[in-house]
Each structure stands twice: as structure tokens, then as C-alpha cells.
Structure 1
């Protein structure tokens, strides 16, 4: 993100903190997993980069979580965060001593916020330390890694969630309802696209431009949102995909990852979703055309605030703090020792990565690829 986008993002995430009224949650009353038995899930943030600020901000207004631990490879940053968020020194870890977290009873869950290539290692290490885990999307570099992460968490008896914040956002819950309940009839066509203009030459240390750390360009960073929206609205899994890399407008800057990529997902019910994700231009749009009408959002897949309409009128839902809502929804389930719903669990991240793998294969080969 450029600096203007970051400022706007940080402003947007602070809007709205009244969350539980959105979905009518039932409050947990017993069976808390944390040792303090006080209706709070103790969360450690693993990786204190850009997005960690948003999660930490969301935790401040959480009803069911507290920021209790930190993991960072930068001692000065860890010390600053510990001071700002009143995290005791015994709950601050680095990447070398991270495994000692197994003996810390004041931490229940680790939220992995590291570069994509580090997700697998730290999910597995957290699971072996007997901590529940949330991992940011994309879940890993490929579907095979996702499968291994899921298995380790199952073997260790901990739960694995993926940070799908939009699954709890009221506007997105509404477009899911409109699509899956066929309010305007069968959805036949979807456009779901997300992109922004990067600042070339940009930060030379930006990990998203290094394939070894990111796994790819805007498809890995932004495309998951587009894939998610189509799957969620249709309630179906795509069966095949075609894809095309966009032009490389700056070969020095985009030396390792794609500048943009377009793809077309084909669903068993006959619907097609056309998408683009890009670091070359700004786009943030969702559109669904159905037999008897349409519904659309713009902004659609970023941090909002979301605006939308249907063929019968405007969509108008409260603006919430998406990170707070996500954390509270996950925590209330873990606090009562219930299994996470499939739409937020590791299997959901695996489904997305199978599609991402197929999109890259389709773009490289020029062929339509079947999705397993």
C-alpha cells in the first residue's frame, strides 16, 4: 500500500466498535479454556508488521480477547509494543525462543501475522506448543503446505482459523444471503476485483515484492478476497479456471512477482466469475448479475466502509471494526471449547490455495485448469 492508502486504512479500521449487536451473539458462560477463567482469550501476535497494528487496535475494544503476548524478531519494536500495550516481559518472545511459549499459561492463541512464507513454520510451531492458531491469508504458499498445517493442528489437538475478517462483516453477510438464497434468482455472472497502485520504485525491503517471502504478487495478497467473495455468494466451489498475466509495466520493480493477473472461475451451476488483482491500478469492486436483478459493492473487498446497491435499492449497514468482530466471533467459540465453523477454519484456507495454485498454472500454461 502507498502511504495515502495506509493512512486511509488506519482511519477506516477505527470506525465503529459496537459489534455484538450485528449478529446477535450468545455470550459464553462456562468452559473457558484460559487459565484465568475470566471470559477473555489471551492472544499473542506473532509478527508486528503493518497489519498487526490493525489487529492490536481491534483487540483494544474486544469483549472476549486481550493482547497478552508478542513475538518479534526486532527487540526495539517488541519493547515499544510491550510498553504501549502493557504486555509483561515474560510474554514477549523472539523467533529463536518462540517454542518456550508452550509453558506460558497466560497465552491461549497465537495470531500469525508474518510474511506468507513464514506462515507454515509458525503455525506448526504454535500448534506444537499447544496453542490455538489464527493465520493471516493466504494461509500458505501452496495447497500442500496448507494440508500439512491442518494435519499438525489436528494431531496436536488445537484449532486453526484463517483471518477471514469479511466473513463477519454485515454488508458481506448480506451479499452472501442475496446470492445463496437467490433473492434475485440464480446468479449468472460475478465480477470481483481488487487492486491498488504501488509506489515504484518503492521500499527495497518490501517483502511482498520478493517471491521467496510472498509466494507471488497481487494474486496472493489481494486475489484471495476476490476468490472468497465468489465462492461465498454462490455457495459453490469452482470446477475450472482460465487466467492471464497482465503486462509488466516496470520490470525492475516487478522482477519476481506479477504486476497484475486476471482469471475466470467456472462454477458447476453455470456461473462465471471474472476477476483481476493488480499492483498497477486501483480497483475495488464486486458485482453479481442474476436472473431477476443485480447487487454490487464499491468499495467492496478492501477495508471499507463498504457501499452498495441492488436493483431494488441501496445497501446500508453499520460500519464496524472488522478485526474486533472477527476476533470476538472466533474467541466466543474457542472459549466454550466448540469446533470452529468450516468457513473460518483451515479447510477454508486450503480451498482458496487450491484455486490460487490453479490460477497460476492456468496463467503460465495458457490452458483451462481443472480445480481439484
Structure 2
């Protein structure tokens, strides 16, 4: 088995646009991620450009660096009224989750494709409504790991039996949320965020496990803990176990108040593989594979998975290709997350 064939080029895409024009994006919301990650990623993307900003904060607009050049800036009321509709082809929704639905509804009414940040909504009901109203446009959940080349190489290797039959996945994502969000942040308000560490960070290992195995879990168990203010209304730490139809399991952990880290380990009947810092952003990726007497290590250059995400969205928008991480994907994860919260509350395994 030639392992090199999977990893000799970390950055190759298994999708590619051919000569399509750029997709003009209206960026809705100017929070930290939109300012620091999304706008630079759109600027560096091959097939996207940000042409409209939608924000209720003139100060955030004024504070944008000079490298961000936007044609039009409008407020939320003007967006809902259809102002500047001729200046963009699609929207990127980067507001807190409780407000995703209202901006998606307007985009769908205007016939604009939608890239919506995860989670798709703060509640399962809102997510179901979004999928319904966006039925006639492209709706993509912003799972940037789905477009990260190293993750896609791992999926190929697992599908081809490089480590035999997958048995267990162990993955986790932790951060010190108070380092970048104050105690009054929406991230700590369950009515706005939809939950805590699980819905904000745990969705990464959860969704990536589903992506790598290519199948949905049939049951879930979970435990959540919180140490007190400012985490008293949400899950500060969470551990989730997903059970898949063939008996494989995925142990997914997340924390809002731990040493920053991310990790991914997949154990199979014939081997195992690791990916260091899979959820850590724009970093160099290292894959380690063991199979029998073979021990291989592959290191690839940093790839901005946010730029990859926007280019993949543009590809789907222009070619009418079905997104692998469409609205139904975001909806499935919210169903699992809701079941996980129920499992944690009741102390029982919940069938899906």
C-alpha cells in the first residue's frame, strides 16, 4: 500500500472551479472571527470577493485595517430592506447563532446563496426553519474542516482501508474562551449561543468524526460540567461518545476553560493515525500513520482552511454542485447535540 500517494501533496484540492467568475459576498456581522479570519480569507481566496459589509457598529467598520477594501457598508435594517442587493451574489452570516435565521430568511427571499457559520442556529427549530426557507438556494454550513486538505486526505485513506476498519476515534478541542471573550460575551449566554463548549467547540470533533467515517451515529452519551460563574449557565467542559451502526465509537471532548489544544486519533483494525492540531486554524499539519511495521510521518505547509471554505462555497454556488456540508449537515449535528445535552441531563444513552 503506497501511503505516499495520499499525502505527497497536502494542498491539492479534489474539487476545482474552472474559469468561473468570482462570487461577490455580503459579510453579515463584524465579530472577532469575521474581522480577523473571514475577511482576510475572502481577500486571499481565488473565487470570492467581499463587496458588502452588513453591520450595526460603525466603530467596527472604522477599525477595519486598510487591507480590507469594501464597496458598500449598510446596516441590518437596510439589508432586510434589500439595499445594495445588486452588489452581492451570496451572503456569509457571521452573527451570533440566535440571529442566523433572520438573515438567512432575507437572503433566501432575495435569491442569494448562503454560507452560514456554525452552529446553523441556536435551536433545532430555527435550523429546521432555515433549511426549509433556503430550499431554492445554496445553503452551506461553515464547516471549514470539511474543506481542509489534510482532513480530506485522511478521509480518502480511511475509506481505502489504510488502517483497516475504523474502531475508535478520539478527538478534542479546548481553549481559554475568556482570553478572547469577556464574561458577558454571547458565547456564555445559552439563549444566544445555543449552549456552551459542546455547540461552539465540540461540534468540530463531532462533525469531523462523522465526515471521516462517512456515516451518522445511532446513539450518544455525554457528560457536562461547569465550575461556576461565568460558566454557570452553559457547559464549560463536555465529553461526548458517539456510537455508530457498525459498533465504532467516537469520543469527542471540548472545553471553554482549559489549555488550548486540538487533537485527532483514529484507531483501526490494522493501524492507526494521528493529526496534530486539526482544529487549530492556519497551522502546519502533521499526520502520523502506523500500519504493521510501517511508521510514516507527513508534514504539510499551513493551509488557510477558511479561504478553502470560501472557495469551495463559490465552487458550489457557481457550478450548482451540492455542498458536502449543506444545511442538512448542520441540522444533523444540531440533532446530535440536542440529544447529547439530553443524555448529559438524564445520565442515559440517547438513541438517535
Residue 96 of structure 1 aligns to a residue in which SS?
Answer: helix
Bigger strand share: 2
Report Cα offsets for 1:316-356 as digits up to 9, x if no partner: 233211111111122123123x1333x22111111111111
| Equivalent-residue separation in structure 2 for 1:52 and 1:152 (angstroms) | 24
Distance 1:201 1:232, change over 3 A: closer
The answer to whether the 8 Å contact 2:155/2:212 transfers is yes
Instruction: After superposition, give the CA deviation of every residue in 1:268-290 in whole Å (9 maximum; x if it has no partner).
Output: 01101112111121331111110
Match of 2:342 in 1: 361
Distance 1:228 1:71 in 2: 29
What residue in structure 2 maps to residue 221 of structure 1? Answer: 200
Partner of 1:308: 287
How far residue 131 of structure 1 moved from its aligned partner, in angstroms, is 1.3
Does 1:349 pair with 2:327? no
* Equivalent position SS for 1:274: strand
Structure 2 CA distance for partners of 1:20 and 1:97, relative to 1, 3 Å? farther
- Identify the residue that residue 120 of structure 1 maps to in structure 2: 101
Query: Cα offset for 1:58?
Result: 0.9
TM-superposed CA distance for 1:82, in Å, is 9.3
Q: Distance between the aligned counterparts of 2:129 and 2:115, measured in 1?
A: 15
**Selected match of 1:274 from 251, 265, 268:** 251
Specify the SS of the correspondent of 2:169: strand
Match in the other structure for 1:262: 239
Range that drifts further, 142-151 or 128-137: 142-151
Aligned equivalent of 1:203: 182
Distance 1:20 1:300, change over 3 A: closer
Q: CA deviation at 1:196?
A: 1.4
Show structure 2 runs of 5+ residues with no match: 1-8
C-alpha RMSD of matched pairs (Å): 2.2
Specify the alignment match of 1:66 in structure 2: 49
**What is the rounded CA distance, in whole Å, between the counterparts of 2:144 and 2:109 in structure 1?**
25
Structure 1: tracts of 5 or more residues without a match: 1-18, 31-38
Q: Distance in 2 between matches of 1:171 and 1:298?
A: 11
Normalised by the size of structure 2, how large is the TM-score? 0.90
Seen in structure 2, the aligned counterparts of structure 1 residues 358 and 316 have a Cα distance that, compared at 3 Å, is: same
- Find the aligned partners of 2:223 and 2:11 in 1 and give their Cα distance: 43
Q: TM-score, normalised by structure 1?
A: 0.85
Deviations 1:87-134 (A, max 9, x none): 23xx32212221233662121111000111111121112211221110
Q: Distance in 2 between matches of 1:215 and 1:185?
A: 37
Q: Secondary structure at the match of 2:257?
A: coil
Give the structure 2 partner of residue 295 of structure 1. Answer: 273
Contact kept, 8 Å, 2:115 with 2:313, in 1: the verdict is no
Counterparts of 2:321 and 2:14, CA distance in 1: 19
